[in-house]
Amino acid sequence: MAYLWVKALHIIFMVTWFAGLFYLPRLYVYHAMPENHASFELFKVMERRLFGIMTLGAGLTLLFGLVLLFMSPALLGKGWFHAKLALLLGLSVYHYYCYRLMLAFREARNTRSHKWFRVFNELPALALLLIVPLAVLKAF
């Protein structure tokens, strides 16, 4: 029963993390649009706060994921788990890059267009479409 509670917490904080991964780049889309210049300071506050919540979600996802791994070390021998870890590593890089982009906006040195951010915003959705089936189906 403890395993299931830890798994539930892992999923809850994964949802929190992904909510941030979906929404923060969407804020960047609006922040990168010159016609929204009057709202730039508000975007900076929203981005900073959301990044904090997103980072907390990521950290707790990692913590409960490590507890699950400790409770079930046989996962390390599964191919699907290795694929999931590789995708999670990619998401961690994406998360860090979101931080770098936030700093660029904060320091008024963003060079990316809102169109670029619209594409960038889709990457976590692709990762989610791969991670969930890997974790649920455990196909290999």
- The model's pLDDT over 44-84, given as tens digits with 9 standing for 90+, comes to 999 999 999 999 999 999 999 999 999 999 999 999 999 99
93 phi/psi in degrees, rounded to 5: -65, -40
The C-alpha atoms of residue 133 and residue 129 are separated, in whole angstroms, by: 7
Read off the tokens for 137.
Answer: 């189906």
- Residue 107: per-residue pLDDT: 97
**Among 54, 62, 44, 53, residue whose Cα is nearest residue 21:** 54
- Tens digits of per-residue pLDDT, 78-108? 999 999 999 999 999 999 999 999 999 999 9
Amino acid in position 80: W
The domain ranges of the chain are 2-137
Could you give the residue ranges of the DSSP H alpha helices within the chain? 2-31, 40-71, 79-106, 114-120, 123-137
The per-residue pLDDT of the chain, averaged, comes to 97
